[in-house]
Amino acid sequence: MISSRFSKRILTNLSRLLVVLFFLAVWEFAARNWVDPMFISPPSKVFGNLGNLLARPGFVPALKSLILELVIAFVISVAIGLSLGLLIGLRRTTHTLAMSIVLLLYGTPQITILPIVMLVAGVGFASKVVFGVTHGFFPVLLTVCSSLQGVKPIYHRAALTMGASPWLKFRYILLPFMLPSLISSLKLAMVASMLGVLLAELFASTQGIGFFTHQFTETFDATSLFGLVSLAVVIAVGFNSILSMIELRFLKR
């Protein structure tokens, strides 16, 4: 059984690696034969230039700032999403009244509130974190609400009959129901938070990654720009891998 699971995991990882290598091969071929190198740089050149990119003054601190903004936005997103999810999802009345408003806000393009975020939080670290939070808490909120509404009424009645305290009810009934979906939603929240942070970096930043992005774009430095994008992808994949390991651990338990 263990050997079968191990072999399946190796096959899955190998398939993912082959997909990535195929994508890089297509990118390399297209950049060298079909596309103007001013707009798209081949991966061999992009990865070969990473050392020079990291050596640029201020670039590494900008990356560190991006990671810090992402982590803070993600943690706050999970806290807000979980709290509001429990508040809205525990009772059917609040769920009926509030979910229409939540879905309306979720369907509103977040970029429209960026000027308000900039007005309130300023142009800097705080606005990026806030915009990351406005993107990140919705997946957690919606998942928690949906999971809690899926708990059968008989479990609520059983807990009430046995005199379970709110904490015991949450610990042994509600948490097991929503935990698998909640952990999966954390990956969506991470991606959404990073999207919000990066958008704020582009539109509400006078320094950091947003500054370098504008600089590389305006000077048609495709090699550095694709290197920056590649590093952002590595950061996102790294966080996603950590959350996947946490998910596997909890699902096994």
Position 74 scores a pLDDT of 93
In a domain, 151, yes or no: yes
Parent domain of 183:
35-252
Position 4 scores a pLDDT of 62
CB count within 10 Å of CB 23 equals 11
Position 206 scores a pLDDT of 66
In a domain, 10, yes or no: no
Query: Within 13 Å of residue 57, how many CA atoms lie on the same side as its CB?
Result: 0
Position 6 scores a pLDDT of 57
In a domain, 238, yes or no: yes
Task: Give the CATH number for residue 222.
Answer: 1.10.3720.10
**Token pair for residue 189?**
């929240």
In a domain, 23, yes or no: no
Position 42 scores a pLDDT of 83
Position 80 scores a pLDDT of 93
Give CA angle at 40 (37, 41), nearest 5°.
70
In a domain, 84, yes or no: yes
Position 5 scores a pLDDT of 60
Crossing angle between the packed helical segments 92-107 and 59-89, to the nearest 10 degrees: 150
d(CA 59, CA 228): 10
Tally of domains in the chain:
1
In a domain, 93, yes or no: yes
In a domain, 64, yes or no: yes
In a domain, 90, yes or no: yes
pLDDT in tens, the chain (253 residues): 445 665 676 777 788 788 888 888 888 888 788 877 777 888 888 888 888 888 888 888 888 888 898 999 999 999 999 888 888 887 878 878 888 888 888 888 888 888 888 888 777 788 888 888 998 899 999 888 888 877 777 777 777 788 777 777 777 787 777 877 888 888 889 888 988 888 888 876 667 788 888 888 888 888 888 888 888 888 888 888 888 787 777 766 6
